[in-house]
A = this chain, B = another copy of it.
Amino acid sequence: MTTQKTGVPRRTDRRALLGATVAAAAGSVLAGAAPAAAGARPSAPAPEPAPLPASGGGAGPRVGVLLYEGFSLLDPTGPSEVLSRLPGASVTMIGEHAGPVRTDTRDVAVLADASLDEVDRLDVLLVPGGGLEGTVGAIENPRLREWIGRVHRRTRWTTSVCTGSLILAAAGLLTGRRATTHWASAEYIEDTYGVTYVPERYVRSGRILTAAGVSAGIDLALHLAAELTDERTARAIQLAIEYDPAPPFDSGDAGEADQELKDLALRLLSDSAAR
């Protein structure tokens, strides 16, 4: 095996690398925004790391994602991947305090770039779900609940993924409403918060959108992308992230799963969070 060989071409034709010739020919969707590829030249030196993001990307929606210790990694990152592609959008990770916030498995930390105190106005609020301890911690945190309730009053959309809907419910946002959540929390959200659980990928209730477990946030985000712009833009984002899902198995629907597989799924969740 030729692992010593460097495969760097003498001329890194950057414009070809991501089909950027096409992108440059198509022009820019944002007035005044230079396409990334247009200024790049073959054989130019490697780019310097860009500075920290501006707080607002442009005229697009301001999306804020609430992180808390013990969130599940894909819950905020799937939707953020989608929504950050919207023209002029900004996506900001928000924590009770700024700094790293670790996932339920403790394997990964995402940086909260802003604290609760720094954010009081968002177009879109997204509350991810988490493991058992993380979700309970958020539910029992009065600062998070109060902040969610306050920010929600002026959002265009307030959204959740997985057990994030329990946190919205704990903040008083879902009483008497229809919503979804992770399949294992369906009974809990009904019994505790008077919510009607709907077993769909995402459920709209007024300007609140809730998604089912973990991966369903991606589907919710594509729907939301169309609401915030138009269907064609949402379709283009789906193509940009090549979201043409083809899981090797067909076992993601709790409605069709046997009890033994459900038990194993919950055991893997609790064990990975307990490490």
Contacts and interface: CB of A to CB of B under 8 A. Distances in A.
Interface string A221-251: 0110010000111111111111111111101
Contact of A192 (B9, B84, B163): B9
19 contacts: A3-B171, A7-B169, A18-B132, A20-B266, A22-B184, A22-B263, A23-B266, A36-B270, A36-B273, A40-B132, A77-B77, A84-B105, A110-B110, A213-B240, A213-B241, A232-B264, A233-B268, A240-B265, A243-B252
A159 interface: no
Identify the interface centre among A87, A140, A245: most chain B CB within 10 Å of its CB.
Answer: A245
A238 B242 contact: no
Identical copies in the complex: 2
Nearest to A187: B16
Nearest to A106: B53
Nearest to A21: B266
Category for how many chain A residues contact B: 35 or more
Closest 4 CB pairs of A and B: A213-B242, A244-B252, A19-B184, A3-B149
B262 A239 contact: yes
A140 B105 contact: no
A118 B78 CA distance: 29
A51 B192 CA distance: 30
A16 to B, nearest CB: 5
A128 to B, nearest CB: 11
Contact of A251 (B74, B173, B235, B261): B235
A257 interface: yes
Contacts of A170: 6-8
A235 B269 CA distance: 13
B85 A78 contact: no
Interface string A139-182: 11110010001101100000000110010011111110000001
B108 A109 contact: no
A210 interface: no
A135 B13 CA distance: 12
A103 to B, nearest CB: 8
Nearest to A184: B19
A153 to B, nearest CB: 6
A110 B51 CA distance: 15
A102 B245 contact: no
A119 interface: no
Given A5-B175, A36-B274, A58-B275, 18 more contacts: A2-B172, A6-B171, A7-B169, A7-B174, A23-B263, A29-B268, A36-B270, A50-B70, A53-B275, A74-B77, A74-B241, A109-B110, A201-B244, A215-B245, A222-B248, A234-B248, A238-B251, A240-B266
